[in-house]
Structure 1
Amino acid sequence: MSSYLFSLGRFSFRHKWWVIGAWVAALAILAGLISGLQPKFSKDFDLPGTDGGVAMSQMQEYFPDLTKSQTEANTLVVIGTDKKNGPDDTLANHTDAINALVADLQNLPDVADKKAIVNPVIAAQAIPAIAPKVLGDHGRVGLISVHQSTSIMDLKPENKQALTDILAKHRGHGLQVEATMGVMQAQEQPGKAEMMGFAIAFVVMIIAFGAIVAAFIPLITGMVGVGLTMMLLMVSAKFVSVNQTATAIVTMLGIAVSIDYALFIVSRYRTERSRGGDPADAAGRAVGTAGSAVVFAGLTVIVAVAALMVIGIPLITQMGLGAAIAVAVAVLAGLTLIPALLGAVGRFAFTPKIPWIRHAEESATADTLGVRYGRTIVKRPIPFIVGGLLILSLAAIPMSRMELGMDTVSDDEVAAQTLLKQGFGEGTGADLFVVVHAGNGSVTAAADAAVKQIQGLADVAAPTTVRWIGNGTGPNPNEGANTALILVTPTSSASSPQTHDLVERIRATSPDIAKQNAEIHVGGQTAIMSDLTAKLDRALIPYLLVVVGLAFLIMIGVFRSVWVPLIGTLGFIFSVLATFGATVLFFQEGALGLIDHTKPILSFLPIFLIGVVFGLAMDYQVFLVTRMREEYIHGMSAKDAIIAGYRHGARVVTSAAIIMISVFSAFMLAPDTMAKMMGFAMAIAIFFDAFIIRMTVVPAAIALLGDRAWGLPSWLDKLVFNFDIEGEAVRNRGLEPAPA
């Protein structure tokens, strides 16, 4: 393979303008398609093949108007009296202020029915029966529902800003005014976190290369790679559903791997240029050697994230496929765009030099910090193995207290959620939609039976309010309807175990409902999230086995060893458990005040983190350890080869890890909870795995094994294909003396 990559790198270097033009043309074509198609990312969670998915499908078929209204912005404005005014102060004392608030809310754009936005105090007085639904905590908390015809998928930051301006205007003077759901969940436009990540990466690359121009090349590749990936996803969103949540993960991973892969190839090009010969041949050797490692590192990541499809959850599948596309584009850019850009800048690639930064590629005799660290590890490997694993084991302890859920409430909504809990209970806004469907005839008897059973269940907030509506035009009970919809409000929050249990208890009534020739299903976003969490729990172990198994086989071919892949895989298990523990400690338990409001760990975080981090961990395994193997097979002793690997790879791997950590950490600045938690988890995972496992424990274990680390049983050696990841076939291509 290295010979083909050598030819590709040399071709791209020599035909630089054609290659660069092809990448620019691809971007231009996709931009044109996006302009013409006007695709949009979705924001809803769909879970086909589950009970919640069936319920949502039936709602769409039999209750289309209600379903449509659920896809539009339904915001809850929560008002409450200031506690400083004492317990006797009720909202009735603030009627004029609330009326002014209602008037401003009615003037929001795209309000579906202005008359439906009413003062809860006045509404409760006019219709006493609805008082418990709009007034709580003895009249100290009230609800105002604002329904705007704007689709949730079309919400923009301006929609949220228009509402928050009104809330700020009427907040104070003894009145709390907050809001949740609806337009409050409009997401800010992406860009800030990405730019911060690029800026930090640029600084790190200047230090790594000691030159300005070379630092720009990985940056350009990262921008092009991520831009192309996002455009591909946007175009595909016109034809298939692509959830907006998936795009944050794709962007995060795309930036990191694009820059990292470019960093490895540019660093190797610098080494090859110092050996002499034609620059095009140097580019070919860089792609044939470091590029081979990039291909297999990328393949490992692609296998890990693409395997997420086996879970069968659309959102997770979209994340996995999007991430796989991002990595594939990053690999392709590294093999073609990087040598083309190096050809374009020519002899100016490593200029102007920064005089106070030491040369990035040290000489064969330089006693660098990396070399000294490697020499220390080789001399006494056992303390490093024990110490590294002990640190990770301690970090993993909080994992035993992990709580999974899908609490997507933003920090801006927490105050409103607190008021809701105070006035109406935690389950407000976490409604369950129970669909009872009779294939033939009336659903009345089945719906009445379902209502009676649900009213008797624990954790139902207000059993007396559990009623049903039919899908016909008549009032309840609707004798001619074949489908009924029951709205159930739980006592607990949407992500709590109690609500999950309530969902399952309602579904457990299915045998009794079947006696009435009907079926019962539980839907709504709360039930969908519950199903998502349960399905992810069941899929975690099978997915882990698939990913680790496939990647282990790939690494046997890459390293032509059993011990090295085994050590790398076991090390990954330690680092990922430590990552879970640290994420629980900071996000679920609020250690050190890193976040203002603690949350359960996102349900899909563990399984997605396993896929992505395993792939990235193998990146560093490939880039650092292949250089060690390369030196070993060229005659060095096992321990000297490890030190040589540090000499040539420690600085670039350290720089790559810092870039990864910086890019992921930058996403903690995002207001979106998912992006913030994912950013932290990915950053700490790279820190644990790159510096403790790959740079410390793995080399120490290899040193302990000595020559045994670099061998295969004879029977297995015959079965494993020689991938030549070290680029032996092109190691001296272009440097051979001319024939006499």
Structure 2
Amino acid sequence: MAKFLYSLGRGAARRAWAVIAAWAVILALSVGAYLSFGGTLTNQFEIPGTETQRLADQLSDELPEANEGVGTIVFSTEGGSEFTESQREAIGAALDDAGEVDGVASVTNPFQAQDELDSQEQQLSDGEEQLGQLIELRDSGQLEGAVAAGMVPEGVTAETVTEQEAQLEVGQRSMDLMGDYGFVSPDGNTAIATVNFTAAQPEIEPEEKEGVMNAIDDARISGVQVDYSTELAQTLGIFGAAEVIGLIVAATVLFIMLRTVIGAAVPVLTALVGVGVAATAALSLSGVVQMASVTPVLGLMLGLAVGIDYSLFVLNKHRQQLRRGVPLYESIGLATGTAGSAVVFAGCTVMIALVALAVSGIPFLALMGGVAAFSVLVAVLITITLTPALLGLVGLKLLPQTQRDQVTSGHFVEDAAHVKTPRSVRHPLLTVIGASTALILLAIPVASMRLGLPDGSSEPADTTQYQAFRIVDETFGAGRNGPMTVVVEHPEDLSQAEVSELQLNVGERIQELDDVKNVVPAPPEDGTNLAILQVVPESGPADEATETLVNDIRGLSTEFQSSDDASIGVAGQTAANIDISQVLADALPLYLGVVIAISLVLLVIVFRSLIVPLIASLGFLLSLLAGLGALVAVYQWGWLGGLFGVSDPGPILSFLPTLMVGILFGLAMDYQLFIATGMREAYVHGHPARVAVVRGLVGGRAVVTAAAIIMASVFAGFIFSHLTMIRPMGFGLAVGVLLDAFVVRMTIMPALMTLLGDKAWWLPKWLDKILPNVDVEGDSLNQHREPVESPADKDQRVAQETVDAEIASALGRGCAHSTTLR
């Protein structure tokens, strides 16, 4: 591996323009594929096999209008006064225009719909009064005489009165179920219009949504505020201003570390090329597969972060070698062969963790993992080809001017040996106890974590989606933002009257359940054995009470199966979100086990130790739980919510814990590789185990520190993204990376390695014989090289030997102190 990468890096540096041209062509082809084949992104998720998806497919086949995509428009008067007649007319005209937009099936005028409801209620009241007189005449036997005397219209008989009585009862029962359901608020200052599209929700084109909003906005209705639900107004773009800020912070960190603009530009440029290729290639698939908007954003986020970091690792190794006087092309080859080997194995670890998302059996999650893994693959390929090419072009300009002069004159000696022994390895036992306790305390909120998908309350407070959600919540009740579709499947031989009776019986039984506000029966349709009811809960779509209600309604199916041979199911986005969250929660333990098992095998091969991989994995679990704990505290509990733009705390994004497992495990192993390989290199070259720990930590902590800050900066830029689902993802990954890099990899792990000493590198002899030698440290590169030691190398070796003795002395005192504590 090391020899191959050495040749690849050296060759790329010597043929820099050919490599650059090749990547330019690849980027152009990828962009062309996106422009030719790219399709529409969505914020809807489906999981085949769930109850909700089965019902959605059935409704699509038998009652297509019940499976149409919808959007909500909320009108409210700016002064809080009742709508004027002119405002009502202007809103009606605007809604008529919206109904003419391509892709729109119908638009509900709230004022007409409310008038119809009020009229029906009045007709029922009048009919009840008139029918009461007829019933009294019928029961007293005077009906025929009243007809003959002209007191009652001709044709009225006892049978027709009985029929009218039954119809009135059905109407009254329906109105009782609906309760205060309406389209205009009681005080007359807020109205809800519903837009029905011809396509199902995930298939609605952005142009159709924009056309509806433009039709309403163009009306410019005086004195009326218009807000749109998330189904209409949510942005599906993949890059915004907040993400750019994160990239600027990363570039600033690079400049501070490298002290040259050119040096800082190389990792950023290679990362941008990588995400350009990966993102456009992934988006070119959106025309043939249903792709969530968060999918390419995840690839973009991860591609930027690892792209910068991986390039930095090779660049930093090359920079150190240049400062020791290694010739330019030789240094690039060596850096690619050594740091590049670590990059390849680190990238493989991340990709394995992401591709393993397929074991969840959830298609959209597997697609997310595949796109993100592809982004990492492109980042690795860029690092071992384009980065060496650019390094070959910039030459010594990678170094600050003073260092360039010293390298040119041959008098520069790197002063990296004179480093104070880190505190974490001087007091290892105290370090392990203190740092582990801190992470455990951070992890406490995980015990109360709830999973769900975002609704309008998760949007920033200044967006129209949030305003629409809040106005509906305050005026019509929280549940109106997330109504459910209850589907009653009955025998096909029932008459219309029997279907209506069954539908009302189900509705009345549902109304008896806790947390039910309104039940709205839909008129029975001919040619189908499905009856539909809309159920509006008291609680919001993401509330725990709503989840309980969905399960309670489904629980009624057994009751009606035995009495009426009918089954009851719950469809709609609210129920779908609950099903998706449950499936993801069930799949998480399996996925975690698979990822750790596969990656442990890789780490045993790389480090040739059983203990080091175990330390790496246990440390990851600590940082993962602490990161999830911080996520719950901010986004579910609302702690520091104002600082991170959390308007209304709610459940954690249902697939975020699963994604965090895959991404953070891969990134944690990156930092483990870049620090622990230095430790192993020192150990196999004859240094005492505890001295090797310090050498590896001191040699790798600067670049890992910069890499972690850069990666966290890129992730943190997404905390204020325009996409609701990506914000908690950016927060969780940023916190997780910082905790893992600084608390686990550079604190707990070296302390444990110091306590274990030689035992940390134990490996059974039989296993040592069968494991392949992957040579991550690049020892094979020196096998056929003449051992020439320059004066600078000699000075550094002597200085390092002196420091090794000081380290051993300091470690002896620290471990003696730890022994005393034990």
What is the TM-score of this pair, normalised by structure 1?
A: 0.88
Aligned twin of 1:308:
357
Task: Describe the SS at the equivalent of 1:489.
Answer: strand
1:395 counterpart letter in structure 2: L
Matched-pair contact (CA < 8 Å) for 2:341–2:776: yes
Give the Cα–Cα distance (whole angstroms) in 2 for the partners of residues 389 and 101 of structure 1: 61
Matched-pair contact (CA < 8 Å) for 2:446–2:632: yes
Residues 683 and 735 from structure 1, CA distance in 2 versus in 1: closer, same or farther, beyond 3 angstroms? farther
Matched-pair contact (CA < 8 Å) for 1:264–1:652: yes
Matched-pair contact (CA < 8 Å) for 1:156–1:187: no
Give the Cα–Cα distance (whole angstroms) in 2 for the partners of residues 510 and 66 of structure 1: 20
Give the Cα–Cα distance (whole angstroms) in 2 for the partners of residues 614 and 122 of structure 1: 55
Q: 1:8 Cα deviation (Å)?
A: 1.6
Residues 209 and 38 from structure 1, CA distance in 2 versus in 1: closer, same or farther, beyond 3 angstroms? same
Aligned twin of 2:41:
41
2:76 counterpart letter in structure 1: I
**1:445-499 deviations in whole A, cap 9, x for unaligned?**
67854652343131463555234533xxxxxxx3x32444333323322222222
Counterparts of 1:403-418 in structure 2, within 5 Å, are 403-409=450-456, 410-411=459-460, 412=463, 413-418=465-470
Give the Cα–Cα distance (whole angstroms) in 2 for the partners of residues 78 and 296 of structure 1: 56
Aligned twin of 2:485:
433
Aligned alpha-carbon RMSD (Å): 3.2
Q: 1:672 Cα deviation (Å)?
A: 2.0
Aligned twin of 1:181:
230
Counterparts of 1:294-693 in structure 2, within 5 Å, are 294-350=343-399, 365-366=415-416, 371-372=419-420, 374-409=421-456, 410-411=459-460, 412=463, 413-437=465-489, 449=502, 452-457=505-510, 458-459=513-514, 461-462=516-517, 465-467=520-522, 469-470=524-525, 478=526, 480-511=527-558, 520-592=568-640, 593-594=642-643, 595=645, 596-693=647-744
1:123 aligns with 2:170: no
Task: Describe the SS at the equivalent of 1:48.
Answer: coil
Matched-pair contact (CA < 8 Å) for 1:265–1:291: yes
Give the Cα–Cα distance (whole angstroms) in 2 for the partners of residues 253 and 656 of structure 1: 13
Q: 1:624 Cα deviation (Å)?
A: 1.1
Residues 164 and 309 from structure 1, CA distance in 2 versus in 1: closer, same or farther, beyond 3 angstroms? farther
Q: 1:217 Cα deviation (Å)?
A: 1.1
Task: Describe the SS at the equivalent of 1:492.
Answer: coil
Aligned twin of 1:79:
76
Q: 1:606 Cα deviation (Å)?
A: 1.2
Counterparts of 1:176-215 in structure 2, within 5 Å, are 178-188=227-237, 190-215=239-264
Task: Describe the SS at the equivalent of 1:49.
Answer: coil
Task: Describe the SS at the equivalent of 2:537.
Answer: coil
Give the Cα–Cα distance (whole angstroms) in 2 for the partners of residues 671 and 551 of structure 1: 34
Aligned twin of 1:359:
none
Matched-pair contact (CA < 8 Å) for 1:152–1:182: no
1:249 aligns with 2:294: no
Task: Describe the SS at the equivalent of 2:193.
Answer: strand
Residues 208 and 487 from structure 1, CA distance in 2 versus in 1: closer, same or farther, beyond 3 angstroms? same
Higher alpha-carbon deviation: 318-327 or 35-44: 35-44
Give the Cα–Cα distance (whole angstroms) in 1 for the partners of residues 422 and 572 of structure 2: 59
Task: Describe the SS at the equivalent of 2:73.
Answer: strand
Q: 1:169 Cα deviation (Å)?
A: 6.7
**1:542-562 deviations in whole A, cap 9, x for unaligned?**
111111111122111111111
Give the Cα–Cα distance (whole angstroms) in 2 for the partners of residues 466 and 576 of structure 1: 47
Residues 168 and 245 from structure 1, CA distance in 2 versus in 1: closer, same or farther, beyond 3 angstroms? farther
Give the Cα–Cα distance (whole angstroms) in 2 for the partners of residues 488 and 121 of structure 1: 18
Residues 115 and 346 from structure 1, CA distance in 2 versus in 1: closer, same or farther, beyond 3 angstroms? closer
**1:621-650 deviations in whole A, cap 9, x for unaligned?**
111111111112112222222222233211
Counterparts of 1:285-296 in structure 2, within 5 Å, are 285-296=334-345
Give the Cα–Cα distance (whole angstroms) in 2 for the partners of residues 199 and 156 of structure 1: 36
What is the TM-score of this pair, normalised by structure 2?
A: 0.79
Give the Cα–Cα distance (whole angstroms) in 1 for the partners of residues 250 and 425 of structure 2: 31
1:692 counterpart letter in structure 2: V
Q: 1:502 Cα deviation (Å)?
A: 2.5
**1:476-531 deviations in whole A, cap 9, x for unaligned?**
xx3x3244433332332222222222322333344455566665543221111111
Residues 542 and 719 from structure 1, CA distance in 2 versus in 1: closer, same or farther, beyond 3 angstroms? same
1:15 aligns with 2:37: no
Residues 57 and 650 from structure 1, CA distance in 2 versus in 1: closer, same or farther, beyond 3 angstroms? same
Higher alpha-carbon deviation: 36-45 or 672-681: 36-45
Give the Cα–Cα distance (whole angstroms) in 2 for the partners of residues 139 and 450 of structure 1: 31
Higher alpha-carbon deviation: 728-737 or 453-462: 728-737
**1:688-735 deviations in whole A, cap 9, x for unaligned?**
111111111101111111111122122322232222111111147766
Task: Describe the SS at the equivalent of 2:243.
Answer: helix
Task: Describe the SS at the equivalent of 2:676.
Answer: helix
Task: Describe the SS at the equivalent of 1:134.
Answer: coil
Aligned twin of 2:756:
705
Question: Which stretches in structure 1 are left out of the alignment for 5+ residues?
Answer: 356-361, 471-477
Task: Describe the SS at the equivalent of 1:465.
Answer: strand
Q: 1:183 Cα deviation (Å)?
A: 2.1
Q: 1:75 Cα deviation (Å)?
A: 2.2
**1:152-182 deviations in whole A, cap 9, x for unaligned?**
44259966985896799756xxx76544233
Residues 733 and 273 from structure 1, CA distance in 2 versus in 1: closer, same or farther, beyond 3 angstroms? farther
Residues 420 and 634 from structure 1, CA distance in 2 versus in 1: closer, same or farther, beyond 3 angstroms? same
Give the Cα–Cα distance (whole angstroms) in 1 for the partners of residues 219 and 433 of structure 2: 56
Give the Cα–Cα distance (whole angstroms) in 1 for the partners of residues 717 and 739 of structure 2: 18
Matched-pair contact (CA < 8 Å) for 2:484–2:536: yes
**1:52-80 deviations in whole A, cap 9, x for unaligned?**
1111111221223443x31xx62231426
Give % identity: 34
Residues 243 and 211 from structure 1, CA distance in 2 versus in 1: closer, same or farther, beyond 3 angstroms? same
Give the Cα–Cα distance (whole angstroms) in 2 for the partners of residues 307 and 624 of structure 1: 25
Give the Cα–Cα distance (whole angstroms) in 2 for the partners of residues 616 and 243 of structure 1: 24
Matched-pair contact (CA < 8 Å) for 2:197–2:204: no
Give the Cα–Cα distance (whole angstroms) in 2 for the partners of residues 559 and 425 of structure 1: 59
Task: Describe the SS at the equivalent of 2:582.
Answer: helix
Matched-pair contact (CA < 8 Å) for 2:631–2:732: yes
Give the Cα–Cα distance (whole angstroms) in 1 for the partners of residues 514 and 210 of structure 2: 38
Higher alpha-carbon deviation: 189-198 or 675-684: 189-198
Aligned twin of 1:59:
59
Give the Cα–Cα distance (whole angstroms) in 1 for the partners of residues 608 and 553 of structure 2: 55
Give the Cα–Cα distance (whole angstroms) in 1 for the partners of residues 376 and 495 of structure 2: 52
Matched-pair contact (CA < 8 Å) for 1:661–1:687: yes
Question: Which stretches in structure 2 are left out of the alignment for 5+ residues?
Answer: 122-177, 405-411, 790-822
Give the Cα–Cα distance (whole angstroms) in 1 for the partners of residues 212 and 431 of structure 2: 52
Residues 735 and 133 from structure 1, CA distance in 2 versus in 1: closer, same or farther, beyond 3 angstroms? farther
Q: 1:215 Cα deviation (Å)?
A: 1.3
Residues 542 and 169 from structure 1, CA distance in 2 versus in 1: closer, same or farther, beyond 3 angstroms? same
1:79 counterpart letter in structure 2: S
Task: Describe the SS at the equivalent of 2:191.
Answer: strand
Q: 1:99 Cα deviation (Å)?
A: 4.3
Give the Cα–Cα distance (whole angstroms) in 1 for the partners of residues 284 and 116 of structure 2: 49
Q: 1:408 Cα deviation (Å)?
A: 3.2
Give the Cα–Cα distance (whole angstroms) in 1 for the partners of residues 667 and 115 of structure 2: 57
**1:19-72 deviations in whole A, cap 9, x for unaligned?**
2211111111122222223433343311101111111111221223443x31xx
